[in-house]
Structure 1
Amino acid sequence: MKKLVLASLFTTLLAAPALHAADYVIDTQGAHAFVQFKVSHLGYSWLHGRFNTFSGTFSYDDKNLAASKIQLDIDTKSVDSNHAERDKHLRSPDFLNVDKNGKASFVSSKVVPKDGANFDLVGNFTLNGVTKEITIAAAKTGEGKDPWGGYRAGFEGKTSIKLSDYGIKNILGPASETVHLDLVVEGVRN
């Protein structure tokens, strides 16, 4: 009987997933995460902005980075370029069409480890009702205990998208076709 119990326990442990992965909630309440963008304005200067409202979760496995994943939802109505009239235009059907597509999202499909703390985050990005696969060049910036008794992990990433790929046709010339996205994510472990 003892051998049967031990054999059953051993089989269960072999079949169980590794316990290294930890789940995190992105810390948007403390403003420790950002979704920012920049786009060329007519090829003369840069227009910078951000999305003020977003949420998400990620699972991070430091022993098996490829098993990590992230899901991020962005409220496109929260676009903020520091200019009320421009933001109104960005929310219109000419650009983000927020009345019809008020949410953008990113859901990772794989993580490709690179050198050191760097990795590629591949997944589906949905904007303006269109979903395309993108790659975010990312890096871990740090992790550890916080002063409030929690545990945090932080990452940053960069990617670029073409507006026309997402059905956005109102582009101010070829220099304004590409939007550069910067993501800074700090999560609190569950």
Structure 2
Amino acid sequence: MMKKTLLATALLGALATPAMAADYVIDHEGQHAFIQFKIKHLGYSWLLGQFNDFDGTFSYDDKNPQASKVSVNINTDSLNSAHAERDKHLKSKDFLDVASFPKASFESTAFTPKADGTAVLTGNFTLHGVTKPISIDVTHIGGGADPWGGYRQGFEGTTSFKLADYGINYDLGPASKEVQIYISLEGVRQ
């Protein structure tokens, strides 16, 4: 009788325990993750680029998405706009000052699902030595088993911010004050 009571208590305890979010590593090495940017050049065209070197992790449970967490670190010297001289200028003291600020980072503080299946990810973004709260509009792309015996989840997100908010004050005209960010992340469950 004692064994049955202990077994029943253990089973009830297991059933009452909420599901734990799975931890994922962002699959940047397999080139399944991107952090891209776009900003108007003098108001006449778009300058596009990306950061080639970054890493990060996230936790996600589709039954409890509001418990999700994200952490990303970016090597600012990995900026690539497909033009070496422009990249050199963007990495200089006029913009990112990568010698003084070699890293940018994002640490989430909340994940708020919306009725339409999207979500808002909020957190602290550090760039150019300045940390400010930022919100990212997120869409869950999908999740499931991969052909190599692993399990993956994928998301995309967009945000924008004013360069001056992060102490970057180089003047390219009124149309070039705000940068748009597009993020596509695929993570491998650990």
Root-mean-square deviation over aligned CA pairs: 1.8
Q: Which residue of 1 aligns with 2:122?
A: 122
When the two structures are superposed, what TM-score results if normalisation uses the length of structure 2?
0.93
Q: Which residue of 1 aligns with 2:161?
A: 161
Give the secondary structure class of the aligned counterpart of 2:77: helix
Q: Where in structure 1 do 4 or more consecutive aligned residues deviate above 2 Å?
A: 1-16
Counterpart CA distance in 2 for 1:115 and 1:12 is 31
2:76 partner amino acid: T
Structure 1 residue runs of 5 or longer lacking an equivalent are: none
On the 8 A contact 1:49/1:82 being kept in 2, the answer is: yes
Following superposition of structure 1 onto structure 2, how do residues 18-167 of structure 1 map, counting pairs within 5 Å?
18-167=18-167
Cα deviation code 1:110-160 (max 9, x no counterpart):
001102430000000000010000000001001111111111110000000
Give the secondary structure class of the aligned counterpart of 1:23: strand
Give the secondary structure class of the aligned counterpart of 1:105: strand
Give the secondary structure class of the aligned counterpart of 1:56: strand
State the identity as a percent.
59
Structure 2 residue runs of 5 or longer lacking an equivalent are: none
When the two structures are superposed, what TM-score results if normalisation uses the length of structure 1?
0.93
On the 8 A contact 1:55/1:73 being kept in 2, the answer is: yes
Q: How many residues align?
A: 189
Counterpart CA distance in 2 for 1:111 and 1:142 is 17
